[in-house]
Amino acid sequence: MNASVNTQAKGPDARAEALVASYERAGYARIAPAILQPAEPFLDLSGEDIRKRMYLTTAPGGGEFCLRPDLTIPVSRDYLASPLAGKPAGYCYLGPVFRHRSDAPAEFLQAGIESFGRPDQAAADAEMLSLGLEATAHYGLATPDIRIGDVALFAGLIAGLDLPPAWKRRLVKDFNRKSNLAQDLDRLVLGGNNSRPEYQGVLVALAGSDPKGAHALVTDLLSIAGINAVGGRSVAEIAERFLEQSALGVSAKLPRDVRALIERFLAIAGEPDEAAAELRALASEGNMTQALAPAIDLFESRTGFLAARGIDLQRVRFSTAFGRGFDYYTGFVFELTDPARTGDPLVAGGRYDGLFTRLGSAAPISAVGFAAWIERLSVYGGAS
C-alpha cells in the first residue's frame, strides 16, 4: 500500500480515532492511501457534482492529478493493486479529503469503511448501515433520520424497457440528475431523435459504426484541431461524449404509458416492507416482473438483515427516487442526517459493484462502504 498520511487534518481528534479503532476491532484493516491521486478515475467515475469541486494539477509529463476528493476510489485502487485483489477484504480509514466548498474549509476529515469481495450482498449492505449508525451514536446522536434507496431497482426497470442500449445507459446515468432524467423521458416520448444540431448528419453517420474505429476517428479529428481538453475533459472523454450522442440519435420511442409507469415507480416511498409490496404490484401490472424480481428479492433480503441487526424499520425512509451524487453507485444507498441542524449527511454510502471493472479489474468485484463527516459529527457530545 502507499505510504501513510497524517490523519489529523486540523489537530487531534480523539473521538474520530476511537471510532476508527472500533472498526479495526470489528475486523477492518486500517489503510491510508496517498493524498495525491490520478485525476482520471474521479473525473470518469464520480459524476459532475464532484468534478466541479476538485483541486487539479498537471505533472511535468502531462499527467493530471488531484488532491483526493474522497477516499472510496483511492482505497479501491490500493486494494486492486494488492495481493488481496478479488478476495474478500475490508478496510477502514481516517484522513483528510479536499473539495472546494464556498461555505466551509476545503480540507476536512472523513472516516469510513470499504468492504470488498463479499458474496453475501444483502448482509454486507445491512452491516454498513449498522456500522454507520454506530458512528452517529458514538458522537451522541442516537436516532438520526435514515434515508435509503436502491439504484439497482431503477436499473432493473430500465433494463426491461424496449430501448436501444445507449438510451438505457443514459437513463441510468441520469438517475441522480432528476432534471436531466425528465428531459430524457420527454425526448423519448417525442421520438428520441428530435434534437437536430448542425452536426446531426455526422452523428447519424457514426451511429452503428465500428466503435473502436469511430472513437479513433473522433480522437484524431480533435487532435488535428489542437483540442487537448475542454471543461476538464480529456480528448478521449470528449470523443466518448460525442459518440454517445451519435448512439442516442438512433430512432427510439417511449410510449406515454411506459413513461407513466416510470413516474409511478419513482413515486414509491415509505417503510421498506410496504414499498416492496408496491414494487411487486407495479412489476406485475407493468409486465416487468422478470426485470425487477432479482432487485426486489435483494431489497427484501436486505430489509430482513436490517431488522436482524435491531434497526427499527419504522425509522427507515425508503424512496425509489433517492440516490447520491456519485455515478459509481449500483445498488443500495443510504444517508444518515439530523434535520434539526442542517440536513447535510453525517454518514452516507452504498454499494458500487461496477467500480472495479471501470478501474481495470478483469472481473467484477462486489463492493460496499460508507464515509462519516467528522466535522459534522463533532458538534455533538458523545463518547471521547
Domain ranges of the chain: 1-144+339-384, 146-192+254-337, 194-250
Question: Helix, strand, or coil here: 108?
Answer: strand
CB count in 10 Å sphere of residue 204: 13
The letter for the amino acid at 201 is: G
H or E segment to which residue 150 belongs: strand 145-150
- What the block records as the C-alpha cell of 43 is 473525473
User: Of 84, 87, 111, 109, whose CA–CA distance to 98 is shortest?
Assistant: 109
- CATH class for the domain made up of 1-144+339-384: alpha beta
Give the pLDDT confidence score for residue 356 in this predicted structure: 96
User: Of 54, 71, 67, 66, whose CA–CA distance to 20 is shortest?
Assistant: 71
Q: Per-residue pLDDT tens, the chain, 384 aa: give them.
A: 444 444 344 444 899 999 999 999 999 999 999 999 999 899 888 766 677 889 999 999 888 999 999 999 999 999 999 999 999 999 999 999 999 998 899 999 999 999 999 999 999 999 999 999 999 999 999 999 999 999 999 999 999 988 888 888 888 888 988 888 888 888 887 665 545 454 455 544 555 555 566 556 666 666 776 665 545 555 555 555 555 554 455 556 788 888 899 999 999 999 999 999 999 999 999 999 999 999 999 999 999 999 999 999 999 999 999 998 788 899 999 999 998 887 789 999 999 999 999 999 999 999 999 999 999 999 887 654
CA distance 226 to 245: 22
Stated pTM of the model: 0.82
User: Of 140, 70, 166, whose CA–CA distance to 109 is shortest?
Assistant: 70
The superfamily (CATH) of domain 146-192+254-337 is Bira Bifunctional Protein; Domain 2 (3.30.930.10)
Domains 1-144+339-384 and 146-192+254-337 are alike in CATH topology = yes
